Amino acid sequence: MVRNDFLILWLVAVTLVVFLVLGGTLFFVWNSGLLSGEVPLVESTSGLEWEIEEPESVDNESEKPETPTGLTFEAQVACLDPQTGLLVQETRAIPEAPTRSQRLLQILGSLHDTPKDASRTAAVPPELQFRSVFVDLDRNLVLIDLAGLPEKWKASSSSMEIGQALYAIVHTISYQNPSYQTVQFLVNGRESNESPGGFLLSEPFAPSEDWVKSPAL
Inside any domain, residue 16: yes
Inside any domain, residue 40: no
Inside any domain, residue 114: yes
Same domain for 106 and 13, yes or no, is no
209 and 84 in contact (C-beta within 8 Å)? no
Same domain for 16 and 108, yes or no, is no
Same domain for 166 and 95, yes or no, is yes
Same domain for 22 and 90, yes or no, is no
Inside any domain, residue 66: no
pTM recorded for the entire structure = 0.69
Inside any domain, residue 51: no
Q: What is the pLDDT of residue 188?
A: 96
Residue 130, SS3 per DSSP? strand
Inside any domain, residue 131: yes
H or E stretch covering 163: helix 159-176
Inside any domain, residue 171: yes
Same domain for 24 and 126, yes or no, is no
Same domain for 27 and 115, yes or no, is no
Same domain for 109 and 19, yes or no, is no
Across 57-83, b (16+ Cβ under 10 Å) vs e yields eebeeeeeeeeeeeeeeebebbbbbee
Residue 7, domain extent: 1-32
Residue 159 Cα distances to 84, 87, 152, 162, 199, angstroms: 16, 15, 11, 5, 8
Q: What is the pLDDT of residue 62?
A: 42
Give the mean pLDDT per block of 10 residues along the chain (217 residues).
Answer: 62 68 63 51 34 36 54 96 96 94 97 95 97 94 96 83 97 96 96 94 96 79
Same domain for 194 and 135, yes or no, is yes
Same domain for 28 and 88, yes or no, is no
Instruction: Provide the number of structural domains found in the chain.
Output: 2
Inside any domain, residue 60: no
